[in-house]
Amino acid sequence: MGKSIRTKEYQNFAEKLKKTRLEAGLTQVQVSKKLKRPQSYISKAEAGEQRLDVVELKKFAMLYKKDIHYFIK
């Protein structure tokens, strides 16, 4: 098996992604439809199993009405 992407820092990021979605009052299904991605993609991103690039993160940030820097502090 390959090296895990679940570093403590990345896990904190993934948890913040989920927390922010919940604060926005959105379900994973709602987010997946808005971002035109499968629900499993959202689930894996929040679990730290799916890495996000900066372009994808920007889409999440806009949807959740957060500055992109909120996620990387």
What CATH number does the domain containing 41 carry? 1.10.260.40
Residue 1 lies in a domain: no
Residue 32 lies in a domain: yes
What percent of the chain stands above pLDDT 90? 81
Residue 35 lies in a domain: yes
pLDDT for 68: 94
State the residue range of the domain holding 45. Answer: 8-72
Residue 36 lies in a domain: yes
Positions in the chain short of pLDDT 70? 1-6
Say which amino acid occupies 9.
E
The total number of structural domains that make up the chain:
1
Residue of 17, 41, 20 lying closest to 29 (CA atoms):
41
Residue 24 lies in a domain: yes
CA distances from 24 to 6, 14, 19, 29 (A): 25, 16, 9, 13
